[in-house]
Structure 1
Amino acid sequence: MFRSPRPRTVAELPPQWREQLYRQVPHAVMVPAALSRIYEDRVRDFLLQKRFVPCAGLKLSDDMRVAVAGLACLLVLRPGARLFPDVRAVLLYADRFYVKHDEPDEFGLVSDAPVEQLGESWHGDRVVLSWADVEAALHGDAVNVVAHEFAHQLDDENPDVQGAPALHDYSRWSEVMLREYQRLQRHRRPPVLDPYGAESPGEFFGVATEAFFQRGAALRQHHAELYALFHDYYGLDTAQHALWGAHRKMP
């Protein structure tokens, strides 16, 4: 008589990482108790599966790795979400960095002048981040480079539609996002959304995701339908939490 194999036990988030997560990432307060284990498991898997590469002399620490993982994994708590399967490495600079792009501008001209960046999302294998800007997001800056660049990775999971993640039904998403995108293009100086989001539907998705996590209450006040759309997609009610200075106690 054969016994059924015992289910494999998956280790919890190590205590040191857990302490670092709840000490550093105020956004953890957004995660309801029912999703705490899922969140911690996502953070653990991110840290185990993604390679962190320090760039330009950065001294990489576990605090940095846990902070990036803690912010990124807030985007993948919904049922069925995948843990950024195409991302193999996170490249981390101490501050903003310069890159050369060979894409033509709106006039068809190509410049070889380096451009300052705080983050980049590459199709297929990596995300590049400025640690100074990651820290700024942790301390309340409206810009959240981790949310923005990893939103691009979600966008890349659906190559057929720019500015939309993989969904079963795109009707509501398309209606709300198009209306809000066009509104940003018309006004360019809204109270919540960064005007950079008017560059393309993909950048709008990134900018709107930043606002959802950094300025949830303001987004709900000024863009109620957009907030509701992201609330349903990300599964978090970010407007309910005043983050800065109120780190969540470990559950």
Structure 2
Amino acid sequence: MELIRRLFRRAPPRIPGRLWAEALDSMPCLARLQDGDLRRLQALTERFLAEHAISGAGGFAVTDEIALRIAAQACLPVLNLTLDLYRDMAGVIVYPSAFIVRHSEVDEAGVVHEWEAPMAGEALDAGGAVVLSWEDALEDHEWDDGSNLVIHEFVHKIDMGSGGANGCPPFLAEFHQGIDPARWTRVFTAAYEDFRRRVDAMERRLPADFDEDDDEHLDRYAELAQGLPMDPYGAENPAEFFAVASEAFFVQPAALAAAYGQVVELLEQYYLQKALRAD
């Protein structure tokens, strides 16, 4: 029994200083953190790595550097909260690039439609894993465009803690007593509907024969999307709006704050972190 108690008291392994410094240099989303925040983030990352397996798939080998980058970004949203928000997670699976997922959907007539599509990331409900494409995650590090695949998928996992991803994450008594759930629903619903209208207006400016395989069309889409406060994927549904807004909150919040100030205010209250607002 004494041995078991000692094992449970055992501290998580420490991250070597050089490895931690290199990880920080490689991730612009962490540049805003102060020294005290970074020390807490490192300790939380060490606990995350001790509690959750990060494994490769599709022939991909997860190095210490890759595992550290993923864990540090996963811990950023819960920096001032608790790792218990990730308790319902089997682990993290990393593919070298986009992976194929089979989807199924039942239409209004009761007909089941099935198809396969490549995906960059996926968060699985009911104790499932977070699945990532390292190529896509790495691209977010290299292009500071407000996107962050790792944060996006782990925010979905947080959202699932309230009974399925729906854009309304669990409000914890220890941290979120100041949040009015009714106001959260009202503010996020209004912002989501407004963002859908913005994305619809943007898409009407695309070529009538828009083709995702046409580089010129894709360039036009990217150009138009720059006029939006965040990635247009947030218009898919309320869960994606919450995840994409959270990405922007942690990476490039200025445009989000200008368009949806109350959303940023609520995200500050939820994550207990201040966004970098434009002066």
TM-score tier (shorter): 0.7 to 0.9
One-letter amino acid of the structure 2 residue matched with residue 27 of structure 1: C
Paired residue for 2:131, among 116, 128, 132?
128
TM-score, length basis structure 1: 0.83
Paired residue for 2:257, among 220, 223, 236?
220
Deviations 1:147-172 (A, max 9, x none): 11111111111117821111144133
Counterparts of 1:37-76 in structure 2, within 5 Å, are 37-76=39-78
Q: CA deviation at 1:25?
A: 2.0
Asked whether the equivalents of residues 192 and 215 of structure 1 are also in contact (C-alpha less than 8 Å), the reply is no
What residue in structure 2 maps to residue 102 of structure 1? Answer: 104
Paired residue for 1:151, among 155, 161, 165?
155
> For the structure 1 residues 41 and 146, does the alpha-carbon distance in structure 2 shift closer, same or farther, using more than 3 Å as the test?
same
Counterparts of 1:154-173 in structure 2, within 5 Å, are 154-159=158-163, 162-167=166-171, 168=177, 169-173=180-184
Secondary structure in structure 2 of the residue aligned to 1:239: coil
Q: CA deviation at 1:82?
A: 2.6
What residue in structure 2 maps to residue 183 of structure 1? Answer: 194
Paired residue for 1:137, among 140, 144, 157?
140
**Is residue 203 from structure 1 mapped to residue 240 from structure 2 by the alignment?**
yes
Q: CA deviation at 1:81?
A: 5.6
Asked whether the equivalents of residues 78 and 233 of structure 1 are also in contact (C-alpha less than 8 Å), the reply is no
Paired residue for 1:193, among 207, 210, 230?
230
> For the structure 1 residues 182 and 108, does the alpha-carbon distance in structure 2 shift closer, same or farther, using more than 3 Å as the test?
farther
Q: CA deviation at 1:226?
A: 1.4
Secondary structure in structure 2 of the residue aligned to 1:99: strand
Asked whether the equivalents of residues 25 and 70 of structure 1 are also in contact (C-alpha less than 8 Å), the reply is no
One-letter amino acid of the structure 2 residue matched with residue 218 of structure 1: A
TM-score, length basis structure 2: 0.75
Q: CA deviation at 1:85?
A: 0.7
> For the structure 1 residues 112 and 171, does the alpha-carbon distance in structure 2 shift closer, same or farther, using more than 3 Å as the test?
closer
Secondary structure in structure 2 of the residue aligned to 1:100: strand
- Percent sequence identity over matched residues? 31
Output the CA distance in 1 between the equivalents of 2:118 and 2:92: 18
Asked whether the equivalents of residues 220 and 239 of structure 1 are also in contact (C-alpha less than 8 Å), the reply is no
Output the CA distance in 2 between the equivalents of 1:109 and 1:92: 33
Aligned residues: 236
Unaligned runs of 5+ in 1: 1-7, 242-251
Asked whether the equivalents of residues 53 and 91 of structure 1 are also in contact (C-alpha less than 8 Å), the reply is yes
Deviations 1:201-222 (A, max 9, x none): 1111111111212321221222
Output the CA distance in 1 between the equivalents of 2:191 and 2:166: 15
Q: CA deviation at 1:9?
A: 7.8
One-letter amino acid of the structure 2 residue matched with residue 76 of structure 1: V
One-letter amino acid of the structure 2 residue matched with residue 232 of structure 1: Q
One-letter amino acid of the structure 2 residue matched with residue 153 of structure 1: K
Output the CA distance in 1 between the equivalents of 2:107 and 2:57: 28
| Deviates most, 200-209 or 215-224 | 215-224
One-letter amino acid of the structure 1 residue matched with residue 17 of structure 2: P
Deviations 1:36-58 (A, max 9, x none): 33211111111111111211111
> For the structure 1 residues 96 and 193, does the alpha-carbon distance in structure 2 shift closer, same or farther, using more than 3 Å as the test?
same
| Deviates most, 54-63 or 104-113 | 104-113
> For the structure 1 residues 41 and 154, does the alpha-carbon distance in structure 2 shift closer, same or farther, using more than 3 Å as the test?
same
> For the structure 1 residues 52 and 201, does the alpha-carbon distance in structure 2 shift closer, same or farther, using more than 3 Å as the test?
same
| Deviates most, 43-52 or 79-88 | 79-88
| Deviates most, 124-133 or 72-81 | 72-81
